[in-house]
Structure 1
Amino acid sequence: METTEVTDLSPAWQDALEAYERHLRAERGLSEHTVRAYTGDLAQLAAHAEALAIRDPAGLHLRALRSFLASQQVRGRSRSTLSRRAAAVRRFTAWMARTGRCDDDAGALLVNPRRHRELPAVLRQDEVRALLDAAAARAGDDAVGARDVAVLELLYATGIRVGELCGLDIDDVDQSRRVVRVIGKGDKERSVPFGVPAGRALDRWLAVRGTLAVDGSGPALFLGRRGARVDPRTVRRMVHTRLEDVEGAPDLGPHGLRHTAATHLLEGGADLRSVQELLGHASLATTQLYTHVSSERLRQAYTQAHPRA
């Protein structure tokens, strides 16, 4: 298997995990990161099941699945990790039943541990302005600097994921309508608008993109120093580095800018379903987290400013 290092498992477990990994990639179209997480969780389930003398995943039962989650809790795994692993197990057993690899879905009654959702850190609007102004001041005539400004502007303007940004091609950007075509999770396509400042930053970057382009650059919108499509790790490092220029700002990565964009949209009066569509959330419940962020920020402002708070 490509993403799961498993040793000393029975042939039945090996076969099932490899087939499920192919299913995640080919049929569900999940990202490499998600496939790696799911298969890693299931590798740990397999090891636990083998310790219980369950040498074939068709022999899984609810007690074994509960025992697996209990062992994870004893090892100090967080509630979010337990929740993810329970979901991975349930999807796996449902797939087993659906494909005829077992008679019953052992995970159908497995309770998903309630996940404690912490409020994500976000930037204030003045901190965003300081971030973008500092990045523009540092850019000068440097092509990489122009790219970084365009990346920051587009991340904040659209709230797209870093993987979605790195996957953009030049033709995905429609400057006349100021929208960008994004391929999100599950290969779902959506169009996301961006504002005038992001459009100007993109124009400046595209004017100098050719200085980094090489024969193998292809249509990639954003390029690394060697001319290849920019890597998400490069973008993450850049965002962390640029935020060091903003005094008092939390240390965020690209996903922090996504949280920030969503929060500022809701604070500005955008409705929840519009923000859900922009972010590409499958569930409205995921987007609703940002209403709690806005409420918390309002409470903090009230506490600091009201004389009788």
Structure 2
Amino acid sequence: MTLDLYRQGQLAPSREWVNLNPEERRRRAVAAVAGKDVATLLDLLEAHHVRTHGHVSKETLRKYRLGGRTWLEYAQSHAVKVLHPEVEHADLWVRELEASGKSPASVGVLLAGARALYSALRWAKATTDHPFTDVKPRKDKRRPWDKRQPYPEGDVGKLLAAAPVEMRVLLRLGGIAGLRASEITGLKWGDVDLEGGTLTVRNGKGGKTRRVLLSSSLVADLRELGPQKEEVAVIGRTPEAARGRLRTLCKQQGIPYLGLHALRHTAGTRLVRAGFQLQDVAEHLGHSDVQTARTYGKWADDRLKEHLRGL
């Protein structure tokens, strides 16, 4: 593992944790806990996670930091000893998250961040505790395809008709190209080949790079929007901002907001409905497991629905 990752870009603030001698690292971690210095502890979490996993996307780091922050805020408000919490407190935190209405998937994301925090604290030798080892969110009883609900075609058409060009590009990057939120906002003009009709996703989920074919409608919208200098972001801002813009557009058009990620499910459903094999769908969307694409078939297959309507 090279330390180059810590010497540039967004990771520069974390490099000092790696360069510290073990005793100083421990001292700073313990002092941060004692001083309730959440920002320092989250920097420790980030530095350790990147150190052990290599490249990590901004979105992944954001989620891990959110999980760590949420647990630390709970610990502070409930007088929990952060370095040596009782397992019961870890259980109660998860139950409280569930009671607040968070889905099992959302709770799982926050739990992963809390686990990453304690992995970092153990690396710093500030504790030896594993408070979240046996803590699990409530089992999700929803069927896999119910968690990947796409936007109906009519709703997508209505959104496109009402959207300015930049928003149309966002809608089509998600609903046709199948990009994730962080991939949409991280896309640069230098990664778009309008003549070849492709774009390159860099540092996607798991740090992977993939090439994605573009539709003629997306190429047309991209031409209208740009192109600009290679280093300029096509959409830019943050995934949260992109979600907010889509939420606002849905509200304006009277369309239920299903989330930005639901556009990706729309893309997958369209491909399955068009007759493409699951392997093709998985490659287009960047799934590591072809079985993940299988759930789109449940939304794409309308034969049973049409049959029952006729009875």
Q: TM-score, normalised by structure 1?
A: 0.68
Q: Quick check: 117-126 or 152-161, which moved more?
A: 117-126
Shift of 1:78: 4.3
Partner SS for 1:191: strand
Partners of 2:102 and 2:237 lie apart in 1 by: 33
1:269 and 1:254 map into 2 onto residues whose CA distance is 25
Q: Give yes or no for contact 1:150–1:202 (8 Å, CA) kept in 2.
A: yes
Following superposition, the deviation at residue 21 of structure 1 comes to 3.8
Q: Percentage identity across aligned positions? A: 22
Residues paired across the two proteins, number: 272
**What is the alpha-carbon distance in structure 1 between the residues aligned to residue 114 and residue 238 of structure 2?**
31
Given candidates 159, 166, 186, the residue that maps to 1:147 is: 166
Structure 1 CA distance, aligned partners of 2:98 and 2:258?
Answer: 28
**Structure 2 residue aligned with 1:219:** 231
What corresponds to 1:142 in structure 2?
Answer: none
Query: Hey, what does 1:47 align to over in structure 2?
Result: 76
- Aligned partner letter, 2:217: P
Taking structure 1 as reference, are residues 298 and 9 closer, same or farther at Cα in structure 2, changes over 3 Å only?
farther
**5+ unaligned residues in a row in structure 2: which ranges?**
1-12, 14-31
Cα displacement (A) at 1:173: 0.9
Alpha carbons 1:83, 1:115 under 8 Å: kept: no
Residue 167 of structure 1 aligns with an amino acid whose one-letter code is G
Q: 1:65 maps to which residue?
A: 90
**Distance in structure 2 (CA, Å) of the matches to 1:124 and 1:180:** 25
Secondary structure of the residue that 2:200 maps to in structure 1? strand
* Cα distance in structure 2, aligned partners of 1:93 and 1:231: 27
Matched, 1:276 2:282: yes
Distance in 2, Cα, partners of 1:157 & 1:39: 34
CA distance in 1, matches of 2:291, 2:137: 16
Aligned partner of 1:111 among 116, 136, 142: 136
> For 1:123 and 1:76, how far apart are their aligned partners in 2?
23
What is the Cα-based RMSD across aligned positions, in Å?
3.9
**Residue aligning to 1:162:** 181
Aligned position for 2:34: 10
Q: What is the match of residue 263 of structure 1?
A: 269
- Deviation string, structure 1 residues 98-140 (Cα, Å, up to 9, x no partner): 55443353433333432344444423345444544x25xx7xx
CA distance, structure 1, for counterparts of residue 96 and residue 165 of structure 2: 50
Q: Given the alignment, which residue of 115, 121, 125 partners 1:90?
A: 115
Deviation at 1:194, TM superposition (A): 1.4
What is the CA deviation profile of residues 169-196 of structure 1, one whole-angstrom value per residue up to 9, with x for unaligned ones?
2220122332111132454322111122
Structure 2 Cα separation of the partners of residues 161 and 110 of structure 1: 29
- Residues of 2 paired with 1:165 and 1:73: CA distance? 30
Question: What is the distance in 2 between the residues matched to 1:233 and 1:75?
Answer: 21
Contact kept, 8 Å, 2:191 with 2:230, in 1: the verdict is: no
Separation in 2 of the partners of 1:200 and 1:152? 13
* Partner of residue 199, structure 2: 180
1:83–1:113 CA contact under 8 A, matched in 2: no
CA deviation digits over 1:2-45, x for unaligned, max 9? 9xxxxx96248856554114435675344264244223223145
Q: Give me the TM-score of the superposition, normalised by structure 2.
A: 0.67
Hey, what's the Cα distance between the residues in 2 that align with 1:253 and 1:272? 24
1:5 is aligned to none
Match of 1:306 in 2: 310
Structure 1: which 5+ runs fail to align? 3-7, 139-144, 211-216, 224-228
User: Post-superposition shift, 1:271?
Assistant: 3.3
